[in-house]
Amino acid sequence: MNKKYIVRLTADERKDLENLLKKGKTQAYRMKHASILLAIDADGPNWADHHAAKAYKCHENTVRNVRQRFVEHGLEIALERKIQQEPSRKRVIDGEKEARLISIACSQPPEGLTPRNDSIGGSFPSIPPDPPDEPDDPDDPPPVPEPGTMILLTSGAFILRKRLFRKH
């Protein structure tokens, strides 16, 4: 089978790959790609793709891809993983929406609202202090907040009462 991409390593490249394998202090995929390049070198062992794939326990496509990246982009790119053309997850908001969100967050609050409290780290409503009263009786049930009121959790999140408690 005629190969479209022929790997020909220079003496320096071969020495660098051998040193990389000798040290063994790099990522496993880099070591595998270095071993593949040494095995498929046209001026060296010149293994077929399927023999190199079997020897290094990878798919033939991996050998072909390493071969192609070496010829097209060079040694360093061939040793690395393939760069994704598109991210795995689509962005939730685009640049325009992100800019709008930042401008809203950095702007002055609307009339009637207070600016965020930096000591707490967010825009929390002010919580009135508890009125001094008698010590809690252990037999008394805990107070139940009004429906629709927010409860501040230790993590700083708010939960509406109707989500936290069931209506009876």
CB-based contacts of 36, cutoff 8 Å, min separation 6? 52, 56, 58, 62, 63, 66, 67
CA–CA separation, 47 vs 67, rounded Å? Answer: 12
Token pair for residue 26?
């790099």
User: How high is the mean pLDDT of the chain?
Assistant: 78
DSSP one-letter code for 151: E
**CA 25, chain centre distance (Å):** 24
- Residue with the two structure tokens 């005629």: 2
CA distances from 161 to 61, 92, 123 (A): 56, 29, 19
Regarding pTM above 0.85, the answer is no
Q: CA nearest 37: which of 61, 59, 6, 82? A: 6
Q: Note the pLDDT tens digit of each residue in 79-92.
A: 999 888 888 888 88
Per-residue pLDDT, averaged over 73-101, amounts to: 88
Task: Give the Cα-Cα-Cα angle 105, 111, 113 (nearest 5 degrees).
Answer: 65
The predicted pLDDT at position 156 comes to 46
Q: Note the pLDDT tens digit of each residue in 110-136.
A: 777 665 544 444 555 555 555 655 666
The predicted pLDDT at position 166 comes to 41
